[in-house]
Amino acid sequence: MHRIAFVLTLVVLQSSALLAQTPIPDWCRALPRPEYKTVQRVSISDPWFEVYEPAHGVFAIYEPHQAEETISYLVVGEKQALLFDTGMGISDLEKVIAQLTRLPIILLNSHTHNDHVGDNWEFSRIYGMDTDFTRQNALGSRLDAQAEIASGQICGELPKGFDSKVYATRPWKIAAYTHDGDRFDLGDRTLEVIATPGHTPDSISLLDRANGLLFTGDTYYPAPIWLFRPETDLDAYDLSIRRLAALAPQVKVVMGAHNIPVASPTQLPKLVAAFDAVRAGKVQPLPDSPGKVVYKVGDISFLMRAPTAH
Ligand SMILES: [Zn+2]
């Protein structure tokens, strides 16, 4: 009996090892995304990252080799630079930043899910939102990080020296708290914090009003928007996207935190209309992975919890 179980375990282990070796997961076949042809590329030395300059002094630091396709942003002013997220923590973001600017770095996170805070530990001037969710995530964790390197999540090569066994989100220190309406003066440009809770309690957007740039984190990006986690609050999300849509006339480019670094501000009122339609029960859910469904309205889609049967 035990012997059979042992043999079965071996078979399962071997087949998952085979899966892990599958060279090209489906999501990875879609890369490079065509929108990147329209954005200026910047060369750096670490092949884990691709860096683009979608607006003057704004660097989008993209991680195309992992399924989240996370994008962190570095906004460079005359006196200091603001880093908005630190990605997966799979390679060394600080080394990339050092190739882009020598100015002192202020770090803010669009929110503190593991795929946006992975290299926070490498920085010291970290502003956090004053929420228990933020404080809890600043303690670090292993579970979510490990899921990010499971079978089918990696496209191409992990960085040399990366140790998957010890991969975890490392803890970081919140140096100060930031709040809705705070302004960060970088010298010749200012970024304003807009609290946009919903995806998480600590989600924020950043507005560079003078240049018409809006950084929306995971509140909006041009791919399915994840609204299924227990910390997601749909009522809060509803209010937050209305706030962003009201800014659309002043905005030239919307920069979200996954897949593609540029979107039109006309997407923001469309996002509100799409979300309204979903909440009004006017959109048929499509099945996704167990417990989740996708709602699709034109080119906007939401990945949400499956409705529970009454
Ligand atoms: Zn997130």
- Cα of 113 to ligand 1 centre, how many Å? 5
Question: What are the tens digits of pLDDT across the range 69-95?
Answer: 999 999 999 999 999 999 999 999 999
CB-count exposure of residue 301 (10 Å: 0-12, 13-18, 19+): middle
Structure tokens at 164: 């998957």
Quote the ligand 1 centre to 52 CA distance (angstroms): 22
pLDDT digits (tens, 9 = 90+) for 30-69: 899 999 999 999 999 999 999 999 999 999 999 999 999 9
pLDDT of residue 310: 58
What are the phi and psi torsion angles at 95 (to 5°)?
A: -65, -35
Cα 104 to averaged position of ligand 1 atoms, centre (Å)? 26
Mean pLDDT of the residues in the chain:
93
pLDDT of residue 83: 98
Q: What's this model's pTM, rounded to 2 decimal places?
A: 0.91
Distance from C-alpha of 154 to C-alpha of 156, rounded to nearest angstrom: 6
Tell me, in angstroms, the distance from the centre of ligand 1 to residue 184's CA.
Answer: 23
Distance CA 110, CA 203 (A): 5
Which of the two residues, 218 and 6, has the higher pLDDT score?
218
* pLDDT tens-digit readout, 146-159: 999 999 999 999 99
- Which of 27 and 190 is assigned the larger pLDDT? 190
- Tell me, in angstroms, the distance from the centre of ligand 1 to residue 218's CA: 6
CA of 189 to the centre of ligand 1 (A): 27
- Ligand 1 centre from 1 Cα, in Å? 44
CA 222 to ligand 1 centroid distance, Å: 14
Q: Is the pLDDT of residue 23 over 90?
A: no
- Taking residues 275-279, what's their average pLDDT? 98
Ligand 1 centre from 4 Cα, in Å?
42
Biggest alpha carbon distance in the chain?
72
- Which residues are CB-neighbours of 165 under 8 A, at least 6 positions away? none
Calculate how far, in angstroms, residue 174's C-alpha sits from the geometric centre of ligand 1: 19
17 band by pLDDT with thresholds 50, 70 and 90? very low
Q: State the distance from the centre of ligand 1 to the C-alpha of 72, rounded, in angstroms.
A: 12
Determine the distance separating the centroid of ligand 1 and the alpha carbon of 115, expressed in angstroms: 7
Cα distance between residue 286 and residue 294, in whole Å:
5
CA-based end-to-end distance of the chain: 43
How many angstroms separate the CA atoms of 163 and 181, rounded? 40
H-helix segments, the chain: 2-21, 26-29, 93-100, 114-117, 132-137, 143-147, 234-247, 267-279
Handedness of CA 214, 62, 31, 200 (dihedral sign): negative
- Distance from C-alpha of 21 to C-alpha of 18, rounded to nearest angstrom: 5
Ligand 1 centroid from CA 9, angstroms: 34
Output the CA 284–ligand 1 centroid distance in Å.
24
Looking at the chain, how many residues does it have? 310
Q: pLDDT value at position 309?
A: 64
Average pLDDT over residues 184-205: 98
pLDDT given at position 30: 85
pLDDT, mean of residues 295-302: 97
| Helix (DSSP H) and strand (DSSP E) numbers for the chain | 8, 17
CA 109 to ligand 1 center in whole angstroms? 10
Ligand 1 mean position, distance from CA 141 (Å): 15
pLDDT value for 24: 84
What residues form DSSP beta bridges with 226?
303
The predicted-structure confidence for 106-120, as pLDDT tens digits, reads as follows 999 999 999 999 999
Closest CA to 219 of 180, 276, 275: 275
